[in-house]
Amino acid sequence: MSTQKYSVTQHPVGTLLTWIKSGEIAIPEIQRPFVWEATKVRDLLDSLFRGYPVGYLIAWQNPNVNLKDGTPAPGKRILIDGQQRITALMASLLGYEVVNKDYKRVRIRIAYHPIERKFEVPNTIIQRDSAWIADIAEVFHAEANLFAIVNHYCTDNPLASQKDVFDSLNQLTKIVNNPIGMIILDPQLDIETVTEIFIRVNSAGVPLSQADFAMSKIAVNDEFGGSMLRKAIDYFCHLSVSPDFYDVIRKNDPAFASTDYFTKMAWLKNGNGDLYDPSYSDMLRVTFTSHFRRGKLQDLVALLSGRNFETRQYEASIVEDTFNRMRQSVLRFMNENHFKSFLMIIESAGFLDSSMIGGLNAVNFAYILYLTLREQGAPQNQIERVVRRWFVMSMLRGWYSGSSESNIDFDIRQIHAQGIESYTQSTIETQLSDSYWEAMLPQELDTSSSNSPAFRVFLAAQVKLKDLGFLSRDITVEQLIKWRSDVHHLFPRDYLKRSGLSRGMYNQVANYAVTQTEINIQISNKEPAVYFRQILEQVQGGTQRYGNITDRDELRANFAMSCIPEGIETMTVADYPQFLVERRKLMARKIQTYFEGL
């Protein structure tokens, strides 16, 4: 039995370009930013000109779908690898405009020297030099007259041989006759197999994600507004990072600026902070999972293709329904009230910006949870409590840091099967048991990584509990994280290094405390027995050296906020390991107190 999962054919460049223009082959990224430098376009043309191989294109055949009357309609072929190469050829040979990284439409011009038979990116000197044809698109124009171009060139360059120039330009035009290999993948292949083939054929390329496939399926669908939907996702993600992009869209894409999508995202022009700047992958995951109750993006790709999961057939009505539902979900995702209310919940848990979160999957699922609760009509106080507690639990346990997609898929299915309150509460009780708080969490704090989930949640706990910075009388941890702070080593780093301790030991997170830069500088590399004794003297009327605390009770309260173990003023390097053990326990208790108050 044949195991062939693809077919390979050779097609002239000109034929491929014709198919692209006619829509027989769809390029999903034709309206997305063109990332190649002009020099790379030049090199591609030079390789074709010299007959060098330029790699294979890979297209994935959409499955045939059944129309409402039961008749099958052939699926479109989607170019999933080779988009930049084809776009480069269309831009340089046919004069098409491309969208650059700033989403502005620009021309990619490549110059050609007929005598030396070489290509170059035109600059001011080349444009003024008659020996160069500054834009080869003039030669490939449908109404171009090669003899007229040769005569004009030789008039400007009298020493040039008409025959040599004609032969050179004739060879140039034959670029469109040069073949490029195309691999057509079977429509029945699943995403994992397509991805594997892509990686094996194009090991130098960036592996495609399921989100990439979904965006491709969306982008090439003209019947149900796929292009605008894809732009809505792309533009929202870009605008959330760059508010100035609003005017770029309005100026360069008036068709999109007249849509509901643009109206819904207009609020981003005033800024959004950087707590949650979703990528298109994040946005797809949230919109799909919250609306379709599925967590795997391969299911979205299947639905966008028209797959009926019960009959295993492909139906046009499912394609239409999927696009309609995705359109509604994207608009709901972008809703200013939803987005800002959700971010306020995350901030209310003590997370101030993206640096305190790391990967966004925990935030993604928290937003899925928020939108689901909103759709179910849950009261606001329930929404806030459930979302806040689930988010912090998932951060603390790294719930979505491993097999994130499988976990998302499992959670959303259980939420709808068991009910949100029942499932989230039982999961939290299991994951954050007494043994976790007393034994496992202190172990998780045994790390030198400041990016560890446990340490990030500890900082959020300090923010939420309105703790003051270490040795600060008036300035809070929240203000220090927002504006300017140092992570102080309670046992100074240089002191521990001089004592022979390794980096992994002196950089333990249980040795860290958020403090003012000025206080950190004053402490410098003094050993704890010295500077803590000086602090005690300060609150007893002695010289004021570190911060503004001059009251013993205030100092005791400050030590408690930063989880400083008792007796630190007498500790030496020999006591350091036990100090870490004791402080981890105090930090774990603070996190527990914080969580129980959410």
CB 57 within 8 A of CB 85: yes
The verdict on residue 214 lying in a domain is no
**Shared domain check, 148 and 233:** no
CB 205 within 8 A of CB 198: yes
Which 3 state secondary structure label does DSSP give 509?
helix
User: 575 lies in which domain range?
Assistant: 443-596
The mean per-residue pLDDT over the stretch 479-499 comes to: 88
Task: Give pLDDT tens digits for 136-151.
Answer: 999 999 898 999 999 9
Which 3 state secondary structure label does DSSP give 313?
coil
The mean per-residue pLDDT over the stretch 297-319 comes to: 89
**Shared domain check, 311 and 408:** yes
Q: What is residue 30's predicted lDDT score, i.e. its pLDDT?
A: 57
The mean per-residue pLDDT over the stretch 67-82 comes to: 70
Give the C-alpha separation, 388 to 354, whole Å: 16
List C-alpha distances in Å: 356 to 352, 395, 480, 565. 7, 10, 13, 25
Give how many domains the chain has, as a whole number.
3
The verdict on residue 215 lying in a domain is no
The mean per-residue pLDDT over the stretch 44-48 comes to: 94
Q: What is residue 273's predicted lDDT score, i.e. its pLDDT?
A: 82
**Shared domain check, 271 and 415:** yes
Q: What is residue 486's predicted lDDT score, i.e. its pLDDT?
A: 78
Task: Give pLDDT tens digits for 5-15.
Answer: 778 889 999 99
pLDDT band at 525 (very low <50, low <70, confident <90, very high): confident
Task: Give pLDDT tens digits for 198-228.
Answer: 766 665 555 668 888 888 889 888 889 999 9
List C-alpha distances in Å: 323 to 226, 365, 514. 8, 22, 48
The verdict on residue 358 lying in a domain is yes
Give the C-alpha separation, 239 to 408, whole Å: 26
The verdict on residue 216 lying in a domain is no
How is residue 561 written in tokens? 């906020």
**Shared domain check, 414 and 288:** yes
- DSSP assignment string, 65-134: EE-TTS-EEPPPEEEEE-HHHHHHHHHHHH--EEE-TTS-EEE---EEETTTTEEE---HHHHH-TTSBS
Q: Looking at the predicted structure, is the pLDDT value of residue 2 above 60?
A: no
The verdict on residue 438 lying in a domain is no
The verdict on residue 283 lying in a domain is yes
Q: What is residue 432's predicted lDDT score, i.e. its pLDDT?
A: 96
Q: Which of 201, 235, 256 is the last residue of a domain?
A: 201
The verdict on residue 211 lying in a domain is no
Q: Looking at the predicted structure, is the pLDDT value of residue 1 above 50?
A: no
Write down how long the chain is.
598
Q: What is residue 387's predicted lDDT score, i.e. its pLDDT?
A: 97
Backbone angles phi, psi at 55, to 5 degrees: 85, 170
Task: Give pLDDT tens digits for 231-271.
Answer: 999 999 999 999 999 998 998 889 999 999 999 999 999 98
List C-alpha distances in Å: 353 to 482, 506, 594. 8, 27, 19
**Shared domain check, 232 and 131:** no
The mean per-residue pLDDT over the stretch 508-527 comes to: 90
For residue 261, count other CB atoms closer than 10 A to its CB.
22
Angle at 339 between CA 420 and CA 246, to 5 degrees: 155
The mean per-residue pLDDT over the stretch 367-388 comes to: 96
**Shared domain check, 400 and 269:** yes
Q: What is residue 79's predicted lDDT score, i.e. its pLDDT?
A: 84
**Shared domain check, 386 and 448:** no
Task: Give pLDDT tens digits for 53-68.
Answer: 888 888 888 776 665 5
Q: Nearest-CA neighbor of 109 among 130, 123, 125? A: 123
Give the C-alpha separation, 103 to 82, whole Å: 20
Q: Which of 368, 400, 431 is the last residue of a domain?
A: 431
CB 263 within 8 A of CB 250: no
- 476 forms bridges with which residues in the sheet? 468
Q: Which of 152, 168, 201 is the last residue of a domain?
A: 201
Q: What is residue 12's predicted lDDT score, i.e. its pLDDT?
A: 93
Q: What is residue 529's predicted lDDT score, i.e. its pLDDT?
A: 86
**Shared domain check, 423 and 316:** yes
Q: Looking at the predicted structure, is the pLDDT value of residue 587 above 50?
A: yes
Q: What is residue 84's predicted lDDT score, i.e. its pLDDT?
A: 87
**Shared domain check, 141 and 78:** yes
Q: What is residue 61's predicted lDDT score, i.e. its pLDDT?
A: 81
For the chain, what percent of residues have pLDDT higher than 70? 95
Q: Looking at the predicted structure, is the pLDDT value of residue 528 above 60?
A: yes
Q: What is residue 204's predicted lDDT score, i.e. its pLDDT?
A: 54
Q: Looking at the predicted structure, is the pLDDT value of residue 29 above 70?
A: no
The mean per-residue pLDDT over the stretch 157-175 comes to: 94
**Shared domain check, 339 and 281:** yes
Least confident of 115-119, 186-190, 517-521: 186-190
The rounded mean pLDDT for the chain is: 90
The verdict on residue 483 lying in a domain is yes
The mean per-residue pLDDT over the stretch 567-593 comes to: 94
**Shared domain check, 425 and 529:** no
**Shared domain check, 195 and 78:** yes
Task: Give pLDDT tens digits for 451-485.
Answer: 899 999 999 999 999 999 999 999 999 999 988 77
Give the C-alpha separation, 244 to 247, whole Å: 6
